[in-house]
Amino acid sequence: MHRVQLHYTLSRDAGDALVRNPLPEMLEAVARQGSISGAARALGLSYRHVWGALKRWEEQLGSELIVWGKGQSAQLSEFGTKLLWAERQAQARLAPQIEALRADLERAFAVAFDPGAHVLTVYASHDDALAALRSHAAQPGLSGQSGALHLDIRFTGSVDAIRALNEGRCTIAGFHTLEQPAAESQAARTYRPLLQPGLHKVIGFARRTQGLIVAPGNPLGLRSLQDVARTRARFVSRPLGSGTRVLLGDLLAQAELAPGDLAGYEHDEPSHTAVAQAVAAGVADVGMGIELAARARGLDFVPLVHERYHLACLKSTLEQPAMRALRDLLQTATWQQQMEAMPGYAPMHCGQVLAMSRVLPWWTFRARRHPGGAR
């Protein structure tokens, strides 16, 4: 059995990769460039280095990685193709856990390298804009703050995120709902017991688009959940407790469909990234997710609904320095322009403290009756 060893490095710019592995990077470059020399140029390495490294890995793994015939371009062997596919699947499925591990390490070192840093612990439904915000906020001096703002983000389901807030395990919880969720919607039934006016506050963050992630060209012609049910397309969902699973429940009810009408409804993936990877790998025909995850993997996207992504906190923390720094940062033009450049995203009341009755309209407040019947 081949064992996996992890390591990490400290750097000012660690790049976008969650876990670096030079072998899949080389295989990816060979597949794209069609030659070892082209792969070496793309990676900024010498031909001799790439050739030698591939040969050493072939000896260690006991199988050939690259094949080519005379006058033909280099191609991945069947084993090399499977190895690259396995790495992509693992990265996609483990992305939330890897992000949490990296956040733990960054938080641990934040004080050592930046005495003026603010640190906020965030439990949130998986969201690519939040991941981008973490990188953006870590730059010192933004929005007038003396040190960087370190967002310790743990991606989890929306329900678990709000529970973590209520249990004191985080300062901010990220969750999402339809723009106008009905009073009897699954969203209302799910979040009403967890959020209380007077105790919690909602900070605006983003408007994003959710829909169907499908193969390039949308070969099955899927335009709605009814199409998914009618064609028996292989569906991939998100886990119980995730905001997207709650949203899907409301969309199924609106379409007068039951979960069992979707072939593969019980198949779930832990993030939008993993859903998109499942479709890209041919494991599923269609999944529910955000547009950015689809576009990042060259997939097509069928928009179904716009929703609001909210940041919830306790009222008592609103004016704490770290929370104040986050609210100020969210309202800067620089951050909002960055969000607008992300497919399927737009800033919406970004950084503003909003009335819960406005964004979660199932809350209604009756005037109290005074003695004698007067109001």
Question: Cα separation of 30 and 163, whole Å?
Answer: 46
Return the pLDDT at 125. Answer: 92
Q: Are residues 166 and 67 in the same domain?
A: no
User: Is residue 371 classed exposed, middle or buried when 0-12, 13-18 and 19+ CB atoms within 10 A define those classes?
Assistant: exposed
In degrees, to the nearest 5, what angle opens at C-alpha 258 toward C-alphas 252 and 264? 95
Q: Are residues 145 and 63 in the same domain?
A: no
Question: Cα separation of 55 and 58, whole Å?
Answer: 5
Report the Cα 234 to chain-centroid distance in Å.
22
Q: Are residues 327 and 230 in the same domain?
A: yes
Return the half-sphere exposure (C-beta side, CA atoms, 13 A cut-off) of residue 250. 23
Residue 8 lies in a domain: no
Return the pLDDT at 158. Answer: 95
- Closest Cα to residue 187, out of 262, 247, 230, 98? 247
Residue 375 lies in a domain: no
Please list the residues that pair with 119 across neighbouring strands: 150
Return the pLDDT at 302. Answer: 98
Q: Are residues 45 and 116 in the same domain?
A: no
Residue 158 lies in a domain: yes
The CATH number of whichever domain residue 321 belongs to comes to 3.40.190.290
Could you read off the pLDDT of 203-249 as tens digits, one per residue?
999 999 999 999 999 999 999 999 999 999 999 999 999 999 999 99
Secondary-structure breakdown of the chain: helix, strand, coil percentages, each rounded to the nearest 5: 45, 20, 40
Return the pLDDT at 142. Answer: 65
Q: Are residues 231 and 268 in the same domain?
A: yes
pLDDT by residue for the chain (375 residues), tens only, comes to 566 666 666 555 555 555 678 888 888 888 888 888 888 999 999 989 998 999 898 888 888 898 876 666 788 888 888 888 788 777 777 776 777 677 667 666 765 666 667 889 999 998 999 989 988 987 766 655 556 788 888 899 999 999 999 999 999 999 999 988 888 899 999 999 999 998 999 999 999 999 999 999 999 999 999 999 999 999 999 999 999 999 999 999 999 999 999 999 999 998 899 999 999 999 999 999 999 999 999 999 999 999 999 999 999 999 999 999 999 999 999 999 999 999 999 999 999 999 888 889 887 644 444 444 443
Return the pLDDT at 344. Answer: 95
Report the Cα 180 to chain-centroid distance in Å.
23
Q: Are residues 65 and 155 in the same domain?
A: no
Residue 219 lies in a domain: yes
State the residue range of the domain holding 29: 22-76
Q: Are residues 188 and 142 in the same domain?
A: yes
Q: Are residues 295 and 186 in the same domain?
A: yes
Q: Are residues 329 and 218 in the same domain?
A: yes
Q: Are residues 254 and 114 in the same domain?
A: yes
Return the pLDDT at 300. Answer: 98
Q: Are residues 71 and 137 in the same domain?
A: no
Q: Are residues 194 and 301 in the same domain?
A: yes
- Closest Cα to residue 189, out of 362, 365, 364? 362
Report the Cα 331 to chain-centroid distance in Å.
22
Residue 368 lies in a domain: no
Return the pLDDT at 368. Answer: 40
Could you read off the pLDDT of 298-338 as tens digits, one per residue?
999 999 999 999 999 999 999 999 999 999 999 999 999 99
- Closest Cα to residue 292, out of 243, 326, 235, 342? 342
Q: Please state whether beta strands 118-124 and 172-178 pair in parallel, antiparallel, or not at all (unpaired).
A: parallel
Q: Provide Rg for the chain, Cα atoms.
A: 24
Return the pLDDT at 69. Answer: 64
The CATH number of whichever domain residue 34 belongs to comes to 1.10.10.10
Count of structural domains, the chain: 2
Residue 374 lies in a domain: no
Question: Cα separation of 298 and 295, whole Å?
Answer: 5
Could you read off the pLDDT of 105-116 as tens digits, one per residue?
766 676 566 666
Residue 161 lies in a domain: yes
Residue 35 lies in a domain: yes
Calculate the average pLDDT of the chain.
86
Contact 357, 197 (CB under 8 A): yes
Q: What is the pTM of this model?
A: 0.71
Return the pLDDT at 347. Answer: 97
What three-state secondary structure class fits 214? strand
